[in-house]
Structure 1
Amino acid sequence: MTSLGSDADDKAGVTIRCQDNALVGVTFCDRFSFDADSVHYAVELRAPSLTARVDEVVAWIRDSDLAAFLEELAADYRGWDGERSWQTHDGDLTVSAVFRSGGRVGLTWALRPWPEAAGGWGASVTTWLEAGEQMTALAADVRHFLAEEHQ
């Protein structure tokens, strides 16, 4: 399930919670932009005994964006074979999707800041959502988050 709303600091964000375990989740927050060509935002991963955050993931307007990837997954609610994936231009955020029986989509959200740096780190969580309405809502929430200026 997803929610588009305000956190304690009254800044808009999107939170995705795993339908199997609400302690596993991903949050998009702290969106800002320097120019019309890009959107910057933070991504936080949470799971029992894990918290990871990248403060400045960059989405370039000219590239295929995360919202379009999620919309394609939502449109294929009857399923697909294999794994589909998307990543930011610099590889800080990767999302992999698999379809399982019962109309469930597993989204693995992986953070790996500075992928070329020695001694870098990586973390990932997997959220399970329903292929139909939950994926459609997630795609719409992410599109809204990335497209709108939030106060």
Structure 2
Amino acid sequence: MTSPDDDTDDRAGVTIRCQDNASVGVTFCDRIGVDAGAVHYAVELRAPGLTARVDEIVAWVGDGDLVPFLEDLAADFRGWDGERSRRTDDRDLMVSAVFRSGGYVGLTWTLRPWPRAAGGWSSSVTTWVESGEQLACLAADIRHFLAGE
């Protein structure tokens, strides 16, 4: 399930909550305006005993980024075999998707800041969402968030 969130400083965000466990979620927040064709934002992961955040995720405007990937998944609402994945150019955010019988998609969100640095860290959570309309709404919510609408 996705929901637009309003932070106290009037910057909108998008939260994805897992259908199987509402305490597991991902939040896109703290969007910074477009700079040289790129949008900067933060991503937070939450699960019981886990909170992780990366402040400087970059989405390139007009590039084959996260939104087209999610839209393609939603268009394949009848399912697919195997795993599909997409990562940002900086490799600090990756999402992989698997289809489960019953019409659900598992989205595994992985944060890995400074992926080329020694001693770096990574953290992942998996959110289960309904394929089709719910996934299409998620893609639209993230598109609006990145566009600043």
TM-score class, shorter-chain normalisation, is over 0.9
Partner of 1:13: 13
SS at structure 2 position matched to 1:140 = helix
What does 1:2-151 align with in structure 2 at a 5 Å threshold?
2-148=2-148
The 1:136–1:114 alpha-carbon spacing in structure 2 relative to 1, beyond 3 Å, is: same
Aligned residue type for 2:55: D
Q: Deviations over 1:2-49 (max 9, x none)?
A: 011312333200000001100000000000135241000000000000
Aligned residue type for 1:56: E
Aligned residue type for 1:13: G
Counterpart Cα distance in 1 of 2:23 and 2:9:
21
TM-score computed with the length of structure 1 as normaliser: 0.95
Counterpart Cα distance in 2 of 1:60 and 1:37:
6
Does structure 1 conserve the Cα–Cα contact (< 8 Å) formed by 2:31 and 2:148?
no
Length, aligned pairs only: 149
Counterpart Cα distance in 1 of 2:5 and 2:48:
23
SS at structure 2 position matched to 1:33 = strand
TM-score computed with the length of structure 2 as normaliser: 0.96
SS at structure 1 position matched to 2:73 = helix
Aligned residue type for 1:132: G
For the aligned residue pairs, the C-alpha RMSD in angstroms reads 1.2
SS at structure 1 position matched to 2:90 = coil
Deviation at residue 61 of structure 1 after TM alignment: 1.9
Return 21-30 or 54-63, whichever deviates more: 54-63
Unaligned residue ranges in structure 1 (runs of 5+): none
Q: After TM superposition, which residue ranges in structure 1, 4 or more long, deviate above 6 angstroms?
A: none
Q: Deviations over 1:41-68 (max 9, x none)?
A: 0000000000000001001125211111
Aligned residue type for 2:16: I
Counterpart Cα distance in 2 of 1:36 and 1:119:
30
Q: Deviations over 1:84-132 (max 9, x none)?
A: 0000001000000000100000000000000000000000000000002
SS at structure 1 position matched to 2:4 = strand
Q: Percent identity?
A: 75
Aligned residue type for 2:6: S
Aligned residue type for 2:97: A
Does structure 1 conserve the Cα–Cα contact (< 8 Å) formed by 2:94 and 2:110?
yes
The 1:10–1:34 alpha-carbon spacing in structure 2 relative to 1, beyond 3 Å, is: closer
